[in-house]
Chains A and B, each alone.
Chain A
Amino acid sequence: MADFDQELDASGLNCPLPILRAKKTLNGMESGQVLHIIATDPGSVKDFEAFANQTGNELMESKEVGGKFEFLIKKA
């Protein structure tokens, strides 16, 4: 996994909390910085794709690691 500037562990949280927490964390970051998110909600895979599509933040990576879902989002 590539480098990232901040990490958010949203494990155990259900929809829409992973998205809301991610948005909040991104608000405090600079443009171009990368946020690493860990989630256990299977719905978060499609949700982070949709979040990126609608907000312009780039979903650089999305993968499943040992039953958890990991995402890299670059702030627009």
Chain B
Amino acid sequence: MPDEKKLAIIATKGSLDWAYPPFILASTAAALGYETEIFFTFYGLQLLKRDLALEVTPLGNPGMPMPMGMDKWFPVLGLALPGMQGMMTGMMKKKMASKGVADLAELRELCQEAEVKLIACQMTVDLFELNTAEFIDGIEYAGAARFFEFAGESDICLYI
């Protein structure tokens, strides 16, 4: 094998659907022999919480497939009703489980087992006064310069 390839990812989103790409790509890259790091910033820091209480929202998301053809007849404003987000999240989770899509916590564990480095943006932790006791173990806390140290040497760099 030639020199180990490197993958650097910035994870910025904290919803259930957008939590998947960073962990799917990082775990797969690690399995292919890439050295991989994910830098979590802003809402992406939600992906580091021990208890992942992530939700999915249909609001402002015309690409989201809706159950029962709801997108054809249901008023967009109705999606803002209380309980709608919880319902959509429940349906999405059920769908994922029925299709054999990995559980998020499991994917994250697989990443850690494969020595994917998880870096939390210290600035965002301070900004939102996040309680790091709620985060999983094995995370590094650092800033933008730390990200570039690795990203500058990377073969692939993704902003998600």
Contact = CB atoms under 8 A, between A and B. Distances in A.
Interface in A15-68: 15-17, 19-20, 22-24, 40-41, 51, 54-56
A19 to B, nearest CB: 6
Contact of B31 (A12, A14, A23, A56): A23
A17 to B, nearest CB: 5
Interface residues of B, number: 13
Give the interface size class of chain A: 10 to 19
Nearest to A19: B31
A10 to B, nearest CB: 9
Given A51-B32, A54-B33, A55-B32, A14 B1 contact: no
B99 A14 contact: yes
Contact of A14 (B27, B28, B101, B110): B101
Nearest to B101: A14
Contact of A16 (B1, B33, B99, B102): B102
B32 A54 contact: yes
A51 B31 contact: yes
Contact of B102 (A14, A22, A56): A14
A15 B102 CA distance: 8
B79 interface: no
Interface of B: 1, 24, 27-28, 31-33, 99-102, 110, 113
